[in-house]
Amino acid sequence: MTRPLSVGVAGLGTVGTGVLRLLRDNADLITARAGRPIAVTAVSARDRTRERDVPTSGLRWYDDPVALAFDPALDVVVELIGGAEGPARDLVHAALAAGKPVVTANKALLAVHGAALAHQAGEAGAALAFEAAVAGGIPAIKALREGLAGNRISRIAGILNGTCNYILSAMRERGREFADVLAEAQRLGYAESDPSFDVDGIDAAHKLAILAALAFNRPVDFAAVHIEGIRGVSALDIAFATELGYRIKLLGIARRTEAGIESRVHPCMVPQAAPIARVDGVLNAVVAEGDFVGRVMLEGRGAGAGPTASAVVADLIDLARGRATPVWGAEAAMLADLPAVPMSAHVGAYYLRLMVVDRPGVIADVTAALRDAGISLESMLQRGRAPGEAVPVVLVTHESNEAAMRRALDQIAAFDTVLEPPALIRIEPV
């Protein structure tokens, strides 16, 4: 039998133990598909005494993950530590410097340092594989880099964070506010004790930066991603969205335009009939549009031990078979230096909710501010009368320029009849 592929795993948390379990439970199937056994022979984790539901006896143990990289008996290093800096980055640098292929689930590391790591991998002639870094068990990376390789991709969009999708789904289904549902998500283990990376859109932005690099044949550029989270979405906005025929989703969207690449993460109103609008709970979805294939949508579990381990092992099988592709789908010299389009240049329709004092002349002032900014209205909703008290007013615009909308909002927010910052949500046709 062909010699087993010897693997070292750094990080034995949820995903790391999931990888060990998958390799053990599906060993026969994996051997058949890899053409050789895949065996974890060394590990690194901070706590040797922690109880784990997979056996680790007989494995070489390294307290220092960087030392794992230099184990001469290892063929591949799997990095499951997480984080853009510190031990994870040091381990990947060390493994590539040693000429060892690396498999990682670390979206933050790739989004922030992916260009440098790709250069290092190319210089070393070592593969850097990261199917597990985006959308968990959904094969989004392989779809873009391999399955759709013959297409010119014009747009990629997706629900890239299960925590946010769960919160927004629960808010809609139960009519509850963000803070209540977030607390529930934390109790259920869907959200971290510090949920900032998820609810502020950073996690989704890391993933979008990776997808955009692959989709548009360009170096990864996390700094170019416009990021907004879901803290400002209220139960009232979700109710109005339903009335207008929309659902609110946190989407990552990257689009090729004549001016360059637009990439953004923010809450969106999407038509209820759109397939992505029906992706609820902790599920993820990725939509790609190619010139020959048309529109392709992938949906599934975006996190957790099983789905993420599935993606890690898929990369290990590729390495066992000797299959490898350039990190960003093409050699560095062939990547396009496309400019980033600023958010101020975005053009689209908008939902705008105001809490105003119900008295004559308020709506006239608001519509005048929009008119002066060159923004036209498609519709307006106002429910009931409460003279002298606060009432919600909802405005839906035709396609408008982001910079113009921001100027109008600054003027509207300064009116003494507008009692809280205006709520703005972009409308996406998806």
The token pair at 212 is: 């955009």
Phi and psi (nearest 5°) for 292? -105, -35
Q: Average the pLDDT over each of 194-208, 295-309, 373-387 and give the range with the smallest value.
A: 373-387
Find, among 76, 75, 39, the residue nearest to 59 by Cα: 39
pLDDT of 202 over the 60 cut: yes
Residues 312-323: pLDDT tens digits? 999 999 999 999
What is the per-residue pLDDT for 58?
85
- pTM of the full structure: 0.95
Is position 207 annotated as part of the catalytic site?
Answer: yes
Identical fold for domains 5-133 and 140-301, yes or no, is: no
Cβ 311 vs Cβ 107: under 8 Å? no
What is the per-residue pLDDT for 190?
85
Residue 242: pLDDT band with limits 50, 70, 90? very high
Task: Return the CATH fold of 346-427.
Answer: Alpha-Beta Plaits (3.30.70)
Q: In CATH terms, is domain 140-301 a member of 3.30.1280.10?
A: no
How many other β-carbons are positioned within 10 Å of the β-carbon of residue 70? 15
Domain limits of the chain? 5-133, 140-301, 346-427
What is the per-residue pLDDT for 208?
98
Phi and psi (nearest 5°) for 351? -100, 130
Q: Average the pLDDT over each of 43-57, 218-232, 338-352 and give the range with the smallest value.
A: 43-57
CATH number of 5-133: 3.40.50.720
> Given 107, 142, 207, 249, which residue is catalytic?
207
What is the per-residue pLDDT for 2?
80
Instruction: Please state the length of the chain.
Output: 430
Residue 50: pLDDT band with limits 50, 70, 90? confident
